[in-house]
Amino acid sequence: MIYSGLKIEELGNSHIVQSLLDQFHLPKDFEPEQGYSSHWKDRSSRSLIKVESGVFTQIQGEGFGNFSTPPGWSNKLMGLLNYLSYAPALIWVFPKFFLALYHLRKAGIGLLTYDSLRQAALAANLAKWIGKIGISPKQICMIGDGYGVLGFLLKQIYPKSKITFIDIGNTLTFCSIFIGKNFNNNSFSLLGPSSTKMREKNNSPEVDSSDFCFIPAENIRSIELNARFDLFINVASMQEMTPFWISWYFEFIRKHKSSKSAFYCCNREYKTLPGGEELIFEKYPWDARDKIIFDEEPRFYRWFFSRELGRKNYLVFGIPIPFMKSFDGRLKHRLLLLNSP
Ligand SMILES: C[S@@+](CC[C@H](N)C(=O)[O-])C[C@H]1O[C@@H](n2cnc3c(N)ncnc32)[C@H](O)[C@@H]1O
């Protein structure tokens, strides 16, 4: 996302953004926490935010999606091919899907990227699925939402909901900028660092009462949280954490679920990180008492069109299709109605 020229003071949550910048970006000696996976130690050291006299001169996130339409007609053609090829998978959610695209466009997001399509498709489908199980979420917990695009879309679909973003501080800073730019008149809070609670727009610091709450993963274990969430979401994120964090978040979800809560989890079936950590979807600490609503390969997360070289082509009936690329491994998504307390 390109926000060069944006002033920090223009953001609805400027103090929170400044505090995250101070802790996770501006110090020269910032070192990723021990608990970061090898993947995120590397990625976060490559993310870059530059500020001069209160103005962003560079915002370059690394490893959490591309939301700027690439230049050049051939790249745009790839984007269009993504939409055409996924159209049949989205037929039942077209109105919500288009509405999601409209909101992304209004937020200045380039639509001709696979990530924009994927997030709009996911938001539209999530609304359908959780509606079917009778949940209209009031408190949503996004674990590892990158820029916060899915959280942004869910807030558009459920305007009365409160959204809590938990992520490593380095990425959370990008998320706080995107959300603060697009929701100027809402209330925000930051839990941590060092257990300080910061609030903006005269709201109480508690999760329950602010529209958006940001919690750095680095601080979350030292925070006493009273919140109860009726929807937890983790997309393409547990597949890049250490097994310690996966177990910790599963415990967190059990501790903070409400009387009727759902957990949507979409991650790679199997992934090995550069440091050798092995992440296996089936080995996450699932609980047999939860009700599985579905458990399958996501229909909108199978291929993408790209001119990128060195990636395997997607096979249709065993035939490799030019420019249609496959991911490095299959994904799986599971929606759970959590066992009630
Ligand atoms: C590949 S990105 C996916 C972002 C977004 N969910 C999407 O689908 O585009 C992985 C996300 O997991 C986050 N993450 C990594 N380690 C984490 C941790 N220990 N706790 C919370 N989030 C973490 C990253 O910062 C990033 O936001």
Which domains does the chain show, CATH number per domain?
8-337 (3.40.50.150)
Q: What is the pLDDT of residue 340?
A: 83
Q: Please, which residues have CB within 8 angstroms of residue 68's CB and are 6 or more apart in sequence?
A: 1, 2, 109, 110, 113
Task: Let me know: does 33 contact 168? Beta carbons within 8 Å.
Answer: yes
By alpha-carbon position, which residue is closest to atom 20 of ligand 1?
Answer: 167
Say whether the peptide bond before residue 137 is cis (omega within 30 degrees of 0): no
Indicate the average pLDDT of the chain. 91
Cβ of 168 less than 6 Å from ligand 1: yes
pLDDT in tens, 54-113: 999 988 888 988 888 888 999 999 999 999 999 999 999 999 999 999 999 999 999 999
Cβ of 172 less than 6 Å from ligand 1: no
For a substitution probing ligand 1, which of 237, 242, 331 has the most ligand atoms within 8 Å of its CB? 237
Q: How far is the CA of 266 from the centre of ligand 1 (A)?
A: 12
Task: Let me know: does 237 contact 304? Beta carbons within 8 Å.
Answer: no
Q: How far is the CA of 271 from the centre of ligand 1 (A)?
A: 14
pLDDT in tens, 8-27: 999 999 999 999 999 888 76
Cα angle 274, 281, 325 (rounded to 5 degrees) comes to 65
* Residue 53 pLDDT level (bands cut at 50, 70, 90): very high
Q: How far is the CA of 241 from the centre of ligand 1 (A)?
A: 8
Cβ of 63 less than 6 Å from ligand 1: yes
Rounded to the nearest angstrom, the gap between the alpha carbon of residue 242 and the centroid of all alpha carbons in its chain is: 17
User: What Rg do the C-alpha atoms of the chain give, in angstroms?
Assistant: 19
- Closest atom of ligand 1 to 115 CA is 9
Q: State the Cα–Cα distance between residues 176 and 180, nearest whole angstrom.
A: 6
Q: Please, which residues have CB within 8 angstroms of residue 213's CB and are 6 or more apart in sequence?
A: 162, 163, 164, 165, 188, 189, 190, 191, 207
* pTM for the predicted model, two decimal places: 0.94
Q: How far is the CA of 47 from the centre of ligand 1 (A)?
A: 13
